[in-house]
Amino acid sequence: MSKSTDELIRELETGGVLDHGTAVAPARKRAATATPARKGLAGSGVILLVIATILAAVVGALPFGSTALYPFALFVTLLHETGHAIATIGTGGSVGSLQIASDLSGLTLTRGGTMALIAPAGYLGATLAGVALLLTPLRWSRWAIGALAAVPLATLLLFHPADTFTVLWCLGFAAVLGAAAWKVPVRWLGFLQIFLGVEAGLNAFRDLLTLIFISGSNAHIQTDAENMSRALFLPATFWAVSWTILSVLLLVWALVVLVRRDVSKLRISK
């Protein structure tokens, strides 16, 4: 005699084969817990940092590398000069003009303000911008890139660009970063954010090493370290080395925070 479907289900439940859907639940639970882990890995700031650093190193070593990375290096120069401008205004001075040059140098003419704060604001400002980009959560990348687009706009509106080259590049930076913040998918914006942070940190560090060399060579070149020396009397080399050490410490701190944050995400997702 054949058994009805209800009778078969009752027998299976009595034998422990079925338990009101609990046999399916563990599989669903495993799938649910696996998804956040994969998302956490894909959105890992540390992994993006490693990829961005390797990419910057590889591209920089290629014959056309300096050309490919030129816009990023020039943007770091703009960050450097903007640091001087902000420190000048923040300490009661005024900005006469701001210039970025095709050889990646820059010049900000200021009046008044506190030179002891204005002088280091270029190198350390670029480093802090890199640290901020590295530590900003990737889910806020659209806002981070949008805020970064405000830097060239500030130069155009507030800091009196000195020449056509500066104006054109500021317009280009503002347009590209603004369009990216508006249209580019968040997952790609996250990588752009980290890559810009890496470029800011690496270029600031490289420029500081150049500053140490210039300061120790007795070359009569006007530098930020020389300006600091005039303000606080200690040798220019002392300030160049001090800023370099502080810059390295800030970047190491950012890396430690980034690693800890990613580890915490992976633990929570398990």
What percent of the chain lies above the pLDDT cut of 90? 70
* Paired tokens of 265: 């995400």
Torsion of the alpha carbons at 143, 145, 150 and 156, rounded to the nearest 10: -160
pLDDT score for 34: 40
Reply yes or no on whether the pLDDT at 37 is more than 90: no
Global pTM reads 0.81
41: pLDDT strictly greater than 60: no
Instruction: Please write the tens of the pLDDT for every residue from 172-226.
Output: 999 999 999 999 998 899 999 999 999 999 999 999 999 999 988 877 788 999 9
Higher pLDDT, 92 or 66: 92
Q: How confident is the model at residue 60 (pLDDT cuts 50, 70, 90)?
A: confident
Average pLDDT over residues 150-167: 95
- For the segment 105-144, what is each residue's pLDDT rounded down to a tens digit? 999 999 999 999 999 999 999 999 999 999 999 999 999 9
Q: Which residue intervals of 158-235 are DSSP H helices?
A: 164-183, 186-216, 224-232
Residue among 176, 269, 267, 197 at smallest CA distance from 51: 197
Please give the radius of gyration of the chain, using alpha carbons only, rounded to the nearest integer: 27
Cα 222–224–228 angle (5° rounding)? 110
3-class SS at 16? coil
What is the maximal distance between C-alpha atoms in the chain? 107
Mean pLDDT computed over 25-39: 42
